[in-house]
Structure 1
Amino acid sequence: MSGVRTADRQLTQQAAARIPVTVGRLLSAVEEKAEGTKLWCGTAAVMTTFGGRRGRTAAASGLAALTVAQLVANGVCKQLVDRRRPPKEWIDHDEVEERPDSSSFPSGHTAAAIAFTAATAPAWPLVGALCAVPAALVAVERVQSGAHYPTDVAAGALIGLGAAWCARRLPRLLPHRT
């Protein structure tokens, strides 16, 4: 376990120190758009409006997965695991002052981003591939900004993948009413 803690510390410090300022600004801008799931809900609205049946299916799957991921990450895990955010002295930029006070574990932003992306990809692969870019940027930003440890982000990604799996399969498992 101490090896994981050491790796968490080293990766967090490296991400905060080595990412160029201009890249950090891009990461922050993407995270700001993803805050409160705005980016994913906006994407779902566009898919629903312009994507026909495939767009509606992808949007519904993505939003269902996002909802499950948010409930699990923020509603359950953060309540059960009280993990402090990375120490401010590890982060040598001002973004560290804008961190939330909630538990660090897991990353709800990452869980939502991965859930939406992984759930939309099977229904509309091109949109899934396009969503993968901001989803990855959100995950990197959560570590770079000092809001999360890499293991928080990894746990959020796993929750997101699990939520996408559930959202894609649950409708098939429910009995059909005629």
Structure 2
Amino acid sequence: MTKRIAAGAPPGLHRALSIVEETAEGSKLWCAAAAVMACTGGRRGRAAAAAGLASVATAQLISNGVCKQLVKRRRPPKEWIPHDEVEDRPDSSSFPSGHTAAALAFTVAITPTWPLAGALCALPAAVVAVERVQSGAHYPSDVTAGAAIGLTGAWLTRHAPRLILRHWL
């Protein structure tokens, strides 16, 4: 499946996917979205931005700080990837996709506070997930695991403070 997805994108789509991935590198896309929301959305925008960034941090800690250290999985074979982007892949473990974890964490965390912003972020989040397989950086299962971690990060960010206060105070 990885081979088919990597080879299946037409050149125009491949370029668009690459642009979105570049902006998502290092969570720049989500930080920029949070800045726009905080500056233009008033109290709701600031609350959504804070939840989104906290969720990204949580998801990155789980995916890159824990899972990638525990699971050493090689990236898909270079010969499966018919384009030059395969040369720019990271050397870290393929499992899970930290980009996907961050994308889903941010999008899911902001949606309860600002549904329109969540809907607007859903498309780039989906594009990031697809691009990670299309570029040859990940297997589909890596992206699925990253999505699950992103959902977990958003859930923890939303519920952990209440759980801690209820059980410890």
TM range (shorter): over 0.9
- Corresponding residue pairs, total: 166
Moved over 3 A (4+): none
Deviation at 1:171, TM superposition (A): 2.6
In structure 1, how many angstroms separate the alpha carbons of the residues matched to 2:83 and 2:165?
53
Q: CA RMSD in A?
A: 1.0
| 1:105 partner SS | coil
Query: How far is the alpha carbon of 1:168 from its aligned partner?
Result: 1.1
Aligned to 1:61: 51
Which of 154, 158, 167 in structure 2 is aligned with 1:164?
Answer: 154
Are 1:45 and 2:23 counterparts?
Answer: no
Which of 113, 126, 131 matches 2:121?
A: 131
Unaligned runs of 5+ in 1: 1-10
Residues 1:75 and 2:65 are matched in the alignment: yes
How far has the Cα of 1:144 moved from its partner? 0.2
Is 2:105 the counterpart of 1:119? no
**Aligned to 1:123, what secondary structure does the other structure show?**
coil
Q: List gaps (5 residues or longer) in structure 2.
A: none
Secondary structure class of the residue paired with 2:112: helix
Instruction: For 2:14 and 2:143, locate their aligned partners in 1 and report how far apart those are by CA, in whole Å.
Output: 17
| Cα displacement (A) at 1:65 | 0.6
Structure 1 length-normalised TM? 0.91
Residue 21 (structure 2) pairs with residue 31 (structure 1): yes
TM-score, normalised relative to structure 2: 0.96
- Paired AA for residue 130 in structure 1: L
> By how many angstroms is 1:75 displaced?
0.4
Percentage of matched positions with identical amino acids = 70
